[in-house]
Structures are given as structure tokens and as C-alpha cells.
Amino acid sequence: MEYLRVCDSNHEGKPTGGFLIPYDSDPLDYIKDFNKPHYLSTFIYNEKHNSIFKTEKSIAGITDVNTDKIYFDFDSKEDLSRSQRDAIEICARLQSHGIPSENIQVSFSGSKGFGVEVKSNRRYSPQEVKLITSKMAEGLSSFDTGMYDPSRVFRIAGTKHYETGLYKFPLTVAQLSELPVAEIKSLAKDIDNTIVDKHNWELSVNVPNSINELTKITTKDRVTHTTIDLPEDLDFTTKTKGFSNCKFALLNGFFPGGKRDASMMALAATCRALGYPKEITYNMCKGAARLQAQRYDSEPFSKTEIWNNVISQVYGDHWKGAQYSCKTQPWLKEICDSLGRHKCNHAVSEGFIEVKDMFDEFEDYSNNIEKNTIKTGLVSLDEKIQLTIGMPVGLLGAPSSGKTSLALNILNNTSNMGISSVFFSMDMYGPLISMKQVQKITGMDVRQIHDLFRHDKRKAAEIKERISQEYKNVRFSTKAGHTVQEMRDIVNEYQDRTGDKVKLILTDYLECISGPYSDATANSSKIAGELRDFATEMAICGITLLQPPKVAGDASYPLSSMRQIKGSSMLEQSFRSILSIYREGFGPDHPEDDRFMTIKILKNTMGTLGSIDYAWHGQKGDILEISEEESIELDALRARKATQAQANNNGF
């Protein structure tokens, strides 16, 4: 089932958290007082989102939404006729692509602008609808680019504006073109809501390919040139503590209109990281927005937009602590470079750090150690070794030893803890990862699973939904042959786009990572260093799966030394912790013995070494704390193997 969000308004006319209604229902049926502002979401929510909303009472952090609307908002506080002209122009552009005028929904907002919508027979992501509208509205100065956040709501036609007392009033394309502003405002003073009921706003249309093609990202979309004119009186010696030079420029309103959304988010995220209360951050963002509007002769962000789309998101429970840096965000680097001699000097700042500053960083790390810790979900292992952000970790195991199963167990556990992660599965075909996830839930063998997904669609859908919940904070990449830099770029792009801080990267496996050299040992040495830098510079825990050389034996052979890692000795040095796994009962002759897994801590720079035995459920890929009875059975298995090995050595 799908949903829309309807919001009432508080005493200041701002949207409340609202409630979800069935997608195919009429929002007007849920309005008790049309003299109060009411709002409707532009994006559509699914059952997973509904479950989150019921628990969290908020849609903050939900980004995987879509919409069936292509919508434009034109605002001009000083000159309403300017926004009217731009709305007329966008209607003409839509019609030139073949959209009939009766399928174009127009409204006067009751305040400073006009809205134009087209209801489509297809769905669009937030990024896609933003690409379409920004390209179609190019050159229209009153077009508001900040209307495509996944949590965006619009006031419902027929409800009253809080400040002006005018209603949001539906218009036809002809009325928009023919009526003067004064007459439109006069009509909006009073409204018979049957007008809204009868207005045919539910007509959807097959949007032509000439418009849908605009969703494709071009080089021009990726590279947006920004320039700022920096006055000599902007004194960087008075820079706010904790702000880089480029963020200080943002705080003083130096960012073009096309970068308002990102700039506001960067300012708010920086303020939160520095410990500012949200009320102070709100006022700082409002000030920056006013300065930006003055410098660029444009409309400022409204107070409602800043509070609902920036402050509420950054200070919401789902904010993962993402930061914005001119080292990683191209748009911010471009603004930083425009500062000339005042641009951030990373070479100097990264050359050394004072002990006090280093200790300040440690205190923050220590005070938030629970949030910075990556737990495997195996209690006995987590008690012996503490994996944290900033730590590169190696997981050594022979083929078929259960490395991928352990990886999925870790990802499942961290996802349920609310930690965002990325799984770079360069070795295993994507559907086979899904197969392992289904096996973990059902315990079925491969043939049973294929049979279920072919013949029991209801049960298959239930399993799919459960897996979606179990791994809701995990993003998967199944492309083979990434370089480490490409992996960094993927993570940076995701963090920039969502504001979600990734804390765990799991890579399967090291030899699948591309490097510049033809020699495998040289490659592994370079990649090891890059993985170490990846973890430390981006403050993530990076777990990389490793292979032993073939001479080490199969998955039953104990791996008791770091020297059993295949590749350069640089690997031993680069990982802060190294774990190994093996299954002593592994083998085709006695599959009934394959019920155990051992994990050894071979390197632990922050603690002790050790060895822990676990119970192993192969078909489900489950790793469980071992019982006393199972421990006795494992000891007996080891004794039998030792006796057999002795007999083989004696020539029997």
C-alpha cells in the first residue's frame, strides 16, 4: 500500500509532523478547517516508510521516495507579476512538449507566487524531478530550486495562508495568462471549496520522452561553475571558531542561488557538529540566507523552508553526523577556490597538528565511543576486540570458510543498530547475495528457495520485505574491479546526496580491488595503504576480506598467523586488527562434522589476541555462541583429527 502525508499547521502556520493517508484517497476529506493552512507531501511513501513513521513519528531520514508529479514553484516577494510571468512561460514550455493545457494544474499560493504541476503516469525520484524542472525552468528568475527535498510538503489548494489570509486558489492556464494579479488576489479572498473539488486535478498524462529524457545526468549537470565576488572587508581573522574559510564565506552569504540547499545544509551540519543548539543554528542560517539574497538580488529562503527542510533534518534523530568538506564536495571546493588567496590551505593544516587539538579530537571520539563502535553481533568477540571508525580491519579465510556469511551477519547487526554501511561485493553475483540473505531467514536449501519464489508470490513478497528491513541501512555495490578511489567517490557521493554518514565499509575481497600494477604483490601493497587511508581519513571502519595462499589448505585448516595472508607484507602493517576464520569440520567426507567455526584474533593493536569457537549453521549461514555440549563435541572432533594426522605421519 502507498501513502501521502497530510500536515495540519501549528499556531505559526508551520506544518506539523502530520499523518499518512492512503495514496488513492482525497486529502480534502481529512481537512476539518479550511481556514487553517494544511499541507500535502509531494512524494509518495510505501509500507516500509509507514512502519518507520509509526515508530518514529517522523519521516526525517527517509529518502528512497518517488512522486508522480512534475512540479514548479515561482516566488517573488517584491513583484508577484514576475512570478506570474514565469509561471505562464513554464506552461508554454510544457505545452510545447505536447502536454495539453487541461493537464497542467495551476494555483495561486495566496502569498508571493504560483505553482504549476503535471501529474504523470510514471514515477520520479527527487533527483529526477529536480533535474527535469531545473532544466525546463532555466532562465526563469523566480523559480524556486529548493522544493525537491524528500520531506517536502505543499499547502493544499483551498486552505488559507497563515499570514496573508488568502486561500491557495486553483486556476486554469487561461486564467493564469489572462487575469491581472489584482483580480487573482481578489478571487483568493474567499473560496467555495466545491471549486477545488470540481477542478480536474487528478487527470494524469503520459509525459513525452522529450521531458523524461531530462532526467539523464550530463557533464553539465555534474559541473556547475560558481563564482563569487569577495569584498575586501570580509575579515577572515574574525572567522567563527570551527569554521573553515569556505564555510565562513557561506555564513556571510557568499553562495549562488543554485547552491542554496547544499549551503544551508553545510552550515547547519557544521553548527551541529560544533555543539550549537538548533535555535542558534536556525538564526545563523536565516542570517546567511538574508545576506545571500542581498548579495545576489534574489529571494531568500523562507523561515519555514529553513526550519522544516534544514534544521529539522540536521537536528533530527536520523541524522548520522555527515559533514561537508571542500576536500570531498566538488561544489564546495569550487566556492572555496573562488576565495583566491583566502581559500582553505589544506597542505598547511594537514602538515601537523598540535597535541591539544589532537586530544580534543580524541575526547570527541571517546565521548561518542558507543556511536563510533562497530559491533559484529557476536558478543564474545565484541568483548575481546573493539572495532571502531578510523580502523582498517582484515578478515582472513580460505574460500568457502564462511567469510561472506560473517560479513552479512555483521552488516545485519550494524544495520539494526542504525549504522549506515556499504557492502562492496566484487566477488559474488548480486542474486547470490540475495540467496544467502533468504537462506539466513528461511533455512531453506537453494532448490526450495527457487521453488518458493516461482510459485508462492505472497510468501516471496513477505521475505523480500523482511530482508529490506533487516538490511535497511546497508547499500550494496556488486560491480567488480573498483579502485579504492572509486570506492571513496561512491561513499562521498552518497553522503553528499543524503547527509547520511557511512561508518562501515565491507569489501569482498581484496584481490578484486583494481590497482595500477600488473604485479599482484605490488598491487596488494599499494591497495593496503589506500585502504588504511580510506578508513582513517574518512572516519570509517573498513573491513576487507582476505585470502590465504593455496598452500595454506582448505577451509578446515587453522589460520593462526598474519603471515598466512596472501600478498604483500604491507597488508600485515596496514590493518589495525586482523581476524581469521576456519571450520574444522569442513570437508566432503563427513559433512555432519561441519557444525563449528573458529575465529582467531591475529592482530589487535588496541587489545589482546585470542581464539573463540562458535557453532555454525551452514545452510542459514548462522554463527552462534557455542554451547557446553557443542564445545565437548568440537574437542572430540579435534582429537580425532589429531589422531588421524599422527597416523598419516607414521605411514598408516
Residues 117 and 187 in one domain: yes
Q: Do 215 and 93 fall within a single domain? A: yes
Asked if residue 240 and residue 217 are part of one domain, the reply reads: no
Q: Is 125 part of any domain? A: yes
Same domain flag for 200 and 299: no
d(CA 422, CA 490): 9
Residue 12's pLDDT is what? 75
Is 36 among the domain residues? no
- Residue 219's pLDDT is 45
Indicate the number of domains in the chain: 3
Q: Mark whether 427 and 308 lie in a shared domain.
A: no
Residues of the chain with pLDDT under 70: 61, 192-202, 217-234, 237, 257-258, 297-299, 320-323, 341, 345-354, 356-357, 360, 496, 568, 651-652
Q: b or e along 371-395 (b: 16 or more beta carbons within 10 Å of the residue's beta carbon)?
A: bbbbbbbbeebeebbbbbbbbbbbb
Burial zone of 342 (CB within 10 Å; 0-12 exposed, 13-18 middle, 19+ buried): middle
Report the CATH number at residue 137. Answer: 3.90.920.10
Last-in-domain residue among 221, 251, 273: 221
Is position 248 within any domain? yes
Domain membership flag for residue 166: yes
Q: Do both 473 and 403 map to the same domain?
A: yes
State whether 325 and 434 are in the same domain. Answer: no
Whether residues 384 and 529 share a domain: the answer is: yes
Mark whether 93 and 120 lie in a shared domain.
yes
CB 124 within 8 A of CB 70: yes
Residue 630 maps to a domain: no
Indicate the residue among 172, 195, 221 that finishes a domain: 221
Q: What is the distance between the terminal CA atoms of the chain, rounded to a whole angstrom?
A: 68
Looking at the structure, tell me whether residues 384 and 489 fall in a common domain.
yes
Which of 579, 595, 630 is a domain's end point? 579
| E-assigned strand segments in 93-246 | 104-108, 113-124, 153-155, 169-171
Q: What is the pLDDT of residue 309?
A: 81
Residue 217 within a domain: yes
DSSP 8-state code for residue 344: -
Nearest to 142 by CA among 80, 224, 95, 185: 80
> Structural domain of residue 505, as residue ranges?
370-579
Statement to judge: residues 73 and 169 lie in one domain: yes
Helix (H, G, I), strand (E, B), or coil: what is residue 338? coil
pLDDT (0 to 100) of residue 227: 46
Answer for the pair 108, 87: CB distance below 8 angstroms, yes or no: no
> Is 523 a domain residue?
yes
Look at residue 592 and tell me if it is in a domain.
no
For the chain, how are helix, strand and coil distributed in percent, rounded to 5? Answer: 45, 15, 40
Q: What is the pLDDT of residue 230?
A: 55
Q: Are 215 and 302 within one domain?
A: no
User: Crossing angle, helix 403-416 and helix 430-442, to 10 degrees?
Assistant: 70
Kindly state the helix (H) or strand (E) to which residue 69 belongs, with its residue range.
strand 67-75
- Collapsing DSSP to helix, strand or coil, 60 comes out as coil
> How far is the C-alpha of 197 from the C-alpha of 173, rounded, in Å?
18
Contact 156, 138 (CB under 8 A): no
